Amino acid sequence: MICWVAERAAAARNVTQVIVATDDQEILEAAQAYGFDSVLTSPLHKSGTDRIAEVAEHLPDCEIVVNVQGDEPLISPTTIENGVKAIEQEMMLADGASIVTSWEPIESARDLLNPDLVKIVLDERDYALFFSRSPVPFPRDAVKKYGSLEKALLMQPDLLAIFRKHTGFYVYRKDVLLQFTKWQQTRLEKLEALEQLRALEHGVRIKAIKASTSSTGVDTTEDFEKVKSIVEDAGYVCLA
């Protein structure tokens, strides 16, 4: 799976270097065997963001850092390219975002109600207002009419269109990334177990772009089997 993620990152035309950051010797050796640059980081990091910050700190000529999480093997290189373009545009604005991420439509009530699938709420300019494991925004009138969210979704399936799935992809201004990892965990971050809320609570703007294709994050055995089936059915081959 690491091979897939690194390969798709390398296929993005505006990414100049791909580095696998890990605290696991086996993953390090596997990445190197496939020809990818890899760095063994501290085992004390609490998150993947802390891990990439350790690596980014030693890249003096780097201004933009892309974080493609290792559990997103089907992420599109085009989504990565668009994320880099978006942060470049935001960096030219006085009040622009310092982080760019991506979202996808939610296609089923089951996905919406799954706490492992993170939801994102955006304003009219596509800046993030909130991230949650709960179904947000809450369609109060529909729930009041039908008695529950589950029944409201069954009776009004078009309600799904108001929800967005957050995908595990970030593009950072390097200076903000390094600041972010020095901040203490915040109250909302701890409650939701979502570190991107730390950025929002510190006033950092996050821009969200629509992913060019759908992807499946691998958080469970069921997710893994689903991705494996997609890969096998499509006849994909890892080229690294």
What are the E-state strand segments in 109-148?
Answer: 119-122, 128-132
Q: Which residue type occupies 24? A: D
- The CATH fold of domain 2-214: Spore Coat Polysaccharide Biosynthesis Protein SpsA; Chain A (3.90.550)
Ranges of the chain with pLDDT below 50: 239-240
Q: What pLDDT, on a 0 to 100 scale, did the predictor assign at position 232?
A: 66
CB neighbours (10 Å) of residue 172?
25
The reported pLDDT for the residue numbered 240 is: 41
Give the residue from 61, 103, 62 showing the smallest Cα distance to 82.
103
Q: Residue 212 is which amino acid?
A: S
> pTM of the full predicted structure?
0.89
**How far apart are the C-alpha atoms of 232 and 122, rounded to whole Å?**
35
Question: What is the pLDDT, as a whole number, of residue 239?
Answer: 45
Q: Could you count the other beta carbons within 10 Å of the beta carbon of residue 24?
A: 13
- Measured distance CA(57)–CA(70) in Å, rounded: 20
pLDDT recorded at residue 47 = 84
Question: β-strands 37-40, 19-22: how paired?
Answer: parallel
Residues 213 and 73: beta-carbon distance below 8 Å: no
